[in-house]
Amino acid sequence: MDIYNLVVEFQKKVLNNKPYFDLPNDQEFLFMVNTLEEELQEFKDGYKNKSYNEMADALIDLIYFALGHSFRMGINFNDNFLLVHKANMQKIKAKTNRGETDAEKPEGWQEPEFKSTLKMPMLFIDAAKVQQDKDQDYNNKNSRKEYFPFGLKSYIQMIWIKVLRMVNVVDKEKVFNEPLHDSIIDLVNYASFLYDEIYYDELDTEFEEE
């Protein structure tokens, strides 16, 4: 089970969120800090209350929020997590000022080197912005069904229409009000809808089998 992709599913399907591949703005940063501090406080409160359930719930929620924030920032989480894990496995068990069951960096230990964010082509960033602007129309799965009632065939048809439109624009056989740039962005978004439809259907099937 890939818990990161489960959180990504929540971010996309429930919150309609997209990664912005950058540092958060002030409002987003404050939200991140508040959610993490809130769960940490609940973990402390659970200990005071001698409640195993409260502590477990707080830890899981803390991880859930952290993974969600990673997705929003566009952090290449799975690959970078493996780099951190590999570096941690080079540490040695030791008693530190944090506790007796801790680990310390041996001589010659090196920090993991990784990129904090994914490098995305400008096309995908622009396409994501367009999807955000169209949230109220068809950017969530339920409302998409009204616009694309035939599922995969609907998306494939729209992709084909956009391809034909671009071919005609390039060949200058017809004049369209829609610039080639907009057609390319629409093509990317329809392809992403098609991908989501396939991905989430497969994911739902996996849950049903479990």
100 and 19 in a single domain? The answer is yes
99 and 142 in a single domain? The answer is no
Residues 24/36, Cβ–Cβ less than 8 Å: no
CATH number, domain of 89, equals: 1.10.3420.10
Q: Which long-range contacts (CB under 8 A, 24 or more apart) does 173-182 make?
A: none
User: Chunked in runs of 10, what are the mean pLDDT values of the chain (210 residues)?
Assistant: 88 85 86 97 97 97 96 86 90 82 85 65 71 60 71 87 83 65 84 78 49
pTM of the full predicted structure? 0.58
Domains: count for the chain: 2
Domain span at 144: 122-209
Last residue of a domain, one of 77, 104, 131: 104
Specify if 112 maps to a domain: no
pLDDT of residue 24: 85
Specify if 162 maps to a domain: yes
Specify if 117 maps to a domain: no
100 and 36 in a single domain? The answer is yes
191 and 126 in a single domain? The answer is yes
pLDDT of residue 151: 80
Task: Tell me how crowded residue 168 is: count the other CB atoms within 10 A of its CB.
Answer: 14
pLDDT of residue 207: 43
